[in-house]
């Protein structure tokens, strides 16, 4: 990892993951590139099978890639021994899962659930556990067990548990997938609050594009590669200021979508563009420079129209 990368919490370079079962190979990641800055709150979106959960498992040390490079907090995950990987999972990363059965032990209270990871590392502090529950707004519910908490409250306890050992990176897998819209917004607000208060890096993996309104950057994954990024046009603080000032001109288009070009110069073209150009049945296009723009054209339509470029798509 070069000195230029020290500001990054996560660096993935040409990451590949292939699963093998009998004579079948499934390529989950196909040369994925990704960087996440330290202290960033960002989301990774993608349809089922896009590779986002595979990426999360690799970053969390639950799986190892087949090829490529992956660094987290300067650690080369491919070179960690099994013992070092256990230490990494205990001290560097915290997990929040969609399924609360993976987050919470039902016969323990909320407070005891938060204390448990501290006991496992010999650093149990009740005051610290109480502070974390207070941070997620559940201090009054500290003595309640699982069945006495709502789904949203259980998920907030899970966030407190993920913070128990002061990790540098929080990985959340569909943390709002099992709750209603209002509760989901509350959970995302908790993530933003702890990101701002503690400076911890947070990566949220989801299929819900509405999460973009709560984070500053969204990376879209398609077919095992990074396809595009959604970057906030105005800061979240500025958006809140507009709302509180009742300006009435808050734009619904909070983010601008940017396509991602990998190191080999490859670019994923959105399916709707391909369909509009009639390229679904072929894999060749005419590529030309037009001033400061790149123009893609269907060669068949260009030939049939005697050179007219009305069917071109300008990037």
Summarised one tens digit per residue, pLDDT across range 60-116 is: 999 999 999 999 999 999 999 999 999 999 889 999 988 776 778 989 999 999 998
d(CA 171, CA 272): 31
Tell whether 9 and 32 lie within a shared domain.
yes
Task: Report if residue 104 sits inside a domain.
Answer: no
Residue 248 has pLDDT above 50, yes or no: no
Question: In this model, does residue 143 exceed pLDDT 80?
Answer: yes
Residues 6 or more apart whose CB falls under 8 angstroms from that of 265 comprise: none
Whole-number Å distance between alpha carbons of 174 and 97: 7
Please tell me the distance from the alpha carbon of residue 301 to that of residue 315, in angstroms, as a whole number.
Answer: 18
pLDDT above 80 for 244:
no
- Domain of 85, in residue numbers: 3-92+167-259
pTM of the model: 0.78
CA distance 60 to 91: 11
Whether 156 is covered by a domain: the verdict is: no
Q: Give the pLDDT band (50/70/90) at residue 30.
A: confident
- What's the total number of domains in the chain? 2
Regarding whether 186 and 83 lie in a shared domain, the answer is yes
Instruction: Say how far apart CA 245 and CA 298 lie, in whole Å.
Output: 49
CA distances from 281 to 206, 277, 284, 285 (A): 31, 11, 10, 12
Residue 99 domain-assigned (yes or no) = no
> Are 192 and 250 in the same domain?
yes
Percentage, residues of the chain above pLDDT 70: 80
Q: Is 142 contained in some domain?
A: no
Instruction: Name beta bridge partners: 264.
Output: none
Instruction: Look over the chain and give the mean of its residue pLDDT values, rounded to a whole number.
Output: 81
Task: List the structure tokens of 70.
Answer: 């992956």
CA 307 distance to own-chain centroid? 44
Phi and psi at 107, nearest 5°, equal: -85, 0
What count of residues does the chain have? 315
Q: Measure the CA–CA gap between 297 and 124, rounded to whole angstroms.
A: 63
Give the span between the Cα atoms of 195 and 119, in whole angstroms.
24
Residue 202 shares a structural domain with residue 251: yes
| Ranges 93-102, 166-175, 237-246, most confident | 166-175
Quick check: helix, strand or coil at residue 255?
Answer: strand
More confident residue, 281 or 135: 135
Q: What is the pLDDT of residue 254?
A: 60
User: Which residues on adjacent β-strands are paired with residue 17?
Assistant: 29
For position 246, what pLDDT does the model report? 43
* Sequence-separated contacts (24+) of 76-80 with Cβ below 8 Å: 76/1
Is 57's pLDDT higher than 80? Answer: yes
pLDDT band at 314, cuts 50/70/90?
low
């Amino acid at each position: 990892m070069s000195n230029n990368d020290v500001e990054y919490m996560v660096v993935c370079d040409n990451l590949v993951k292939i699963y093998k079962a009998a004579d079948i190979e499934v390529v989950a990641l196909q040369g994925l590139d990704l960087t996440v800055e330290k202290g960033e709150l960002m989301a990774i979106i993608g349809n089922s099978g896009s590779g986002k959960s595979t990426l999360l498992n690799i970053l969390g040390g639950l799986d190892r890639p087949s090829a490529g490079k992956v660094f987290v907090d300067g650690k080369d995950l491919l070179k960690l021994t099994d013992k070092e990987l256990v230490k990494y999972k205990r001290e560097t990363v915290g997990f929040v899962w969609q399924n609360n059965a993976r987050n919470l032990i039902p016969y323990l209270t909320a407070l005891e659930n938060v204390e448990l990871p501290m006991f496992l590392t010999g650093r149990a502090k009740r005051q610290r556990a109480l502070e974390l529950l207070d941070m997620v707004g559940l201090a009054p519910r500290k003595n309640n067990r699982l069945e006495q908490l709502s789904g949203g409250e259980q998920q907030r306890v899970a966030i407190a548990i993920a913070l128990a050992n002061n990790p540098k990176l929080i990985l959340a897998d569909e943390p709002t997938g099992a709750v209603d819209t209002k509760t989901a917004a509350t959970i995302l607000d908790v993530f933003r609050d702890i990101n701002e208060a503690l400076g911890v890096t947070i990566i949220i993996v989801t299929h819900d594009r509405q999460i973009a309104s709560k984070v500053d950057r969204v990376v879209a994954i398609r077919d095992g590669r990074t396809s595009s990024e959604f970057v906030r046009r105005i800061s979240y603080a500025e958006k809140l200021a507009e709302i509180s000032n009742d300006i009435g001109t808050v734009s619904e288009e909070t983010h601008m979508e940017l396509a991602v070009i990998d190191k080999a110069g490859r670019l994923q073209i959105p399916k709707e563009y391909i369909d509009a150009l009639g390229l679904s049945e072929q894999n060749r296009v005419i590529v030309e420079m037009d001033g400061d723009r790149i123009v893609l054209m269907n060669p068949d339509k260009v030939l049939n129209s005697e050179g007219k470029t009305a069917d071109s798509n300008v990037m």
